[in-house]
Structure 1
């Protein structure tokens, strides 16, 4: 029997204690307090929670903060959202949660050890921070659900060619290659990447400046720990890539969200914040997630700032190969004459994510420091995949694959836009994007993107809310729709679900 509290706000307020000065984000504090209140039965199954706007006003915090906490609790099964009614504590909690209800000793505080005595937390301050900034991830589906961002067309990957190259390498691999290798990566791969980047991306580098890493995330995290001290400020695009923010905060840096304009990261807005920055993180070729390309004048202005301020620029070139009109835009790094840009690339979106291979291109003055840091976090990357990627690059398979994928992704984007315009009419603001693997579409003013995303998730459609990527309150709510991994039938079926959800009017 559900228990509905007609006046839930006072009870919820008793369960929440927020500290605006803590390193842990406010949404995570609110999530944690509400979760513990549910597990300890202070908030009972079926109990209605306050509306997000009301709770935000009572706690004197942003409504987006409450929305993010509610959305995370909903995703994990603690809360359920009922369209037109509100948000409630879930009627049936996952079975494994029932075993820990009320057992707060499983997660002792700093002042309470697991045996009940006073003692220190089992985690370091950095460990606690890492736990609290961990971002929710998509579940690993056997088949990608529409419209999960960031996935390439796995069904179109030339697996037979890859298998042949892999088999050839293993058949001829000498025993001498089975020991420890260079932490910076397989030298022929570093040489092949250097040649490719110079020709296709306008990057100026030698093979010695290329460091092989386990994907973009390791590259960003490594850069944060090498270049940033605790308390240093890092400018990040807002909206932008959440895991970059997490990497900087884990290194102890203070992240400063910087708004965007039609030319990219707004240096005027960045400079209007208190104090300068030690590093700026940007996605200039195709901003994530809004999609604009940073203008030449803005690039030059950013490089001038970095040189004058003795600061660094971290350029994430995550999907630059996929441009559907004209040639790919040259990298920001190619304009850098002062050695201030660290360039990041990855094979996750051009080949496949499970490969876990990416690369850093670092200024010559930083090569030794990055190489030493890399040897501490990873003794040496797996050799066989690096060999196969080398062959894939040198024998022309990579370029052929890119040409096929550009054609396929342009077609899938066109299908998605056509279906959205046909099925949703003027309910969504949809426009094409000349690059990338996703579209950002904007919702009408009376629709809330977090609620819409949660409703779509129940329909087996992944459409992250635009507000998830921002630390600020945005002028417009939207959804981020990845189309590269979704075939035509699933694109149209997913759009049908979006249309039905919009027609159900998920109000603010």
Structure 2
């Protein structure tokens, strides 16, 4: 189109502006911008003067001036004194056969994905956070959290460190917190590490994502507990790894089955202290066998110690990581389940040769974890509040666990059978009698405000058990008794 051809704007290109739809200059800007980008107003067209356009629209000239100024700033208009405003979009941005049409479907907006992108896009999403609904698995007791002590830690660190916490932080994490974590897991969990091996991350999921990115390639075999944690499954699946379901029994992961199914696997993922979701503890013999396999084959073991702090009839079982000198175990722990979910603090203890690669991967992912929460957490631990909180939660959770089990026994009888003999953790799993559809039951329970998980969804293979994963730590005994009665009525 020749330079300076007037644009025939009204009608129909710009419908009237309306006060109730927001600032008039913004409405005008958005409509002109859309008309230019979609070719309704062709390139090199001359727009009416601000005075003429204001009169046509019944708005002030200042309104039009603000819209034109924004379009000029974005390079969509050329404004010259005495010659008016011309659309600056070059001819080559639109196809020669007509105006560009705005995308109408989701597929048109999304660019084609590569193989890894398709794998990620097809992975199932984790259950959405559901707040403080009864029976949410692994939800801490927010009603019993020492908020005043936590607030003091936040205020103290803000006051003492000043602007230091407002700047960028070290990728590995706040050093006092890394030191506190190393001391804590060494004393309470038997983990053998130097503070330099501790990497502060936002969550267990980020730790697993880093492990997957650095240690796995497409086609690598990974031993997965059967049934097992869905978050680990999705993290490893995203890399194209080949997931090998390895059954668990009363002694935990069956290492002999893993050797039979994939002896040259690259990695094994385990929850040895309190297996998720069945609530079993891996025996010493199985732990040693797993470590020996990793040493002999050069494989890696990821130990997810997600809620091992909570054991109600004995001291917490020592971590797998501290049993041997193989240097093949990556240890994952989290504060999000011990403190509160929105804290977004967890930690990954890696063997010394992997420290630098993991730092680089963490830097690539998000630079570093938020500093103020790290500093407050370090203060909270150094002053003994964390240990005291754990001690109080063990007593509270033991009471709530028993309240739920008693209520289930009273309300449901043999229809819901608890599995696992260990009195620990923040959830219990019950199996359904007969061939009940646990997915349908979970959906019906949700309609009554109960937040449960289907056991069958945690299996990779076709042989599945039907049951429910039930949390007890997040609400008081009265709410648990009511939830058990409501759940039993659905059976």
| Fold shared per TM-score above 0.5 | yes
For residue 139 of structure 1, report the CA deviation from its aligned partner.
4.2
For residue 380 of structure 1, report the CA deviation from its aligned partner.
1.5
Matched, 1:404 2:392: yes
For residue 105 of structure 1, report the CA deviation from its aligned partner.
6.3
1:147 matched residue in structure 2:
135
Question: Any idea what the Cα deviations from partners look like across 1:439-486, whole Å, max 9, x if unmatched?
Answer: 101111132212221221122112211001111234531111000001
Whether the 8 Å CA contact 1:467–1:473 is kept in 2: the answer is no
Whether the 8 Å CA contact 2:281–2:422 is kept in 1: the answer is no
Rounded Cα–Cα distance in structure 2 between residues aligned with 1:488 and 1:262: 29
Matched, 1:130 2:120: yes
Query: Paired residue for 1:391, among 379, 384, 387?
Result: 379
Matched, 1:328 2:316: yes
Q: Give the SS at the match of 2:353.
A: helix
Equivalences for 1:86-165 in 2 at 5 Å? Answer: 106-108=105-107, 121-141=111-131, 144-165=132-153
Whether the 8 Å CA contact 1:146–1:483 is kept in 2: the answer is yes
Q: Give the SS at the match of 2:261.
A: coil
- Assess, with a 3 A threshold, how the Cα gap between structure 1 residues 484 and 177 changes in structure 2: closer, same or farther: closer
Rounded Cα–Cα distance in structure 1 between residues aligned with 2:473 and 2:324: 32
Query: Paired residue for 1:466, among 436, 443, 455?
Result: 455
Q: Give the SS at the match of 2:206.
A: helix
Rounded Cα–Cα distance in structure 2 between residues aligned with 1:220 and 1:176: 30
Rounded Cα–Cα distance in structure 2 between residues aligned with 1:415 and 1:268: 38
Equivalences, count: 389
For residue 326 of structure 1, report the CA deviation from its aligned partner.
0.9
2:188 matched residue in structure 1:
200
Rounded Cα–Cα distance in structure 2 between residues aligned with 1:262 and 1:497: 30
1:477 matched residue in structure 2:
466
Rounded Cα–Cα distance in structure 2 between residues aligned with 1:140 and 1:477: 23
Query: Paired residue for 2:198, among 185, 189, 210?
Result: 210
Rounded Cα–Cα distance in structure 2 between residues aligned with 1:267 and 1:364: 26
Q: Give the SS at the match of 1:429.
A: strand
2:159 matched residue in structure 1:
171
Moved more, 128-137 or 306-315: 128-137
For residue 177 of structure 1, report the CA deviation from its aligned partner.
4.2
Give RMSD over aligned pairs.
1.8
Gaps of 5+ in 1: 1-103, 115-119, 503-508
Rounded Cα–Cα distance in structure 1 between residues aligned with 2:289 and 2:354: 23
2:360 matched residue in structure 1:
372
For residue 123 of structure 1, report the CA deviation from its aligned partner.
2.8
Equivalences for 1:18-97 in 2 at 5 Å? Answer: none
Matched, 1:278 2:277: no
1:71 matched residue in structure 2:
none
Whether the 8 Å CA contact 1:433–1:439 is kept in 2: the answer is no
For residue 336 of structure 1, report the CA deviation from its aligned partner.
2.6
Query: Paired residue for 2:255, among 263, 267, 272?
Result: 267
Whether the 8 Å CA contact 1:467–1:474 is kept in 2: the answer is no
Q: Give the SS at the match of 2:435.
A: coil
Gaps of 5+ in 2: 1-102
Moved more, 383-392 or 444-453: 444-453
Structure 1 ranges of 4+ moved more than 4 A: none
Question: Any idea what the Cα deviations from partners look like across 1:376-420, whole Å, max 9, x if unmatched?
Answer: 112121111111111111110011101110000000011101111
Matched, 1:443 2:443: no
Rounded Cα–Cα distance in structure 2 between residues aligned with 1:483 and 1:443: 18
Rounded Cα–Cα distance in structure 1 between residues aligned with 2:407 and 2:168: 52
Whether the 8 Å CA contact 2:220–2:242 is kept in 1: the answer is yes
Q: Give the SS at the match of 1:276.
A: coil
Rounded Cα–Cα distance in structure 1 between residues aligned with 2:194 and 2:397: 32
Question: Any idea what the Cα deviations from partners look like across 1:211-250, whole Å, max 9, x if unmatched?
Answer: 0001100001001111111111111111111010100011
Query: Paired residue for 1:186, among 174, 177, 182?
Result: 174
Bigger radius of gyration: 2
2:411 matched residue in structure 1:
423
1:50 matched residue in structure 2:
none
Query: Paired residue for 2:239, among 251, 258, 268?
Result: 251
Whether the 8 Å CA contact 1:229–1:251 is kept in 2: the answer is yes
- Assess, with a 3 A threshold, how the Cα gap between structure 1 residues 243 and 125 changes in structure 2: closer, same or farther: same
Rounded Cα–Cα distance in structure 1 between residues aligned with 2:459 and 2:117: 24
Question: Any idea what the Cα deviations from partners look like across 1:130-185, whole Å, max 9, x if unmatched?
Answer: 111032423443xx111111211011100011111111111222334432221000
Rounded Cα–Cα distance in structure 2 between residues aligned with 1:470 and 1:175: 49
Query: Paired residue for 2:445, among 456, 469, 478?
Result: 456
- Assess, with a 3 A threshold, how the Cα gap between structure 1 residues 424 and 177 changes in structure 2: closer, same or farther: closer
- Assess, with a 3 A threshold, how the Cα gap between structure 1 residues 136 and 393 changes in structure 2: closer, same or farther: closer
Query: Paired residue for 2:481, among 489, 492, 502?
Result: 492
Whether the 8 Å CA contact 1:457–1:463 is kept in 2: the answer is yes
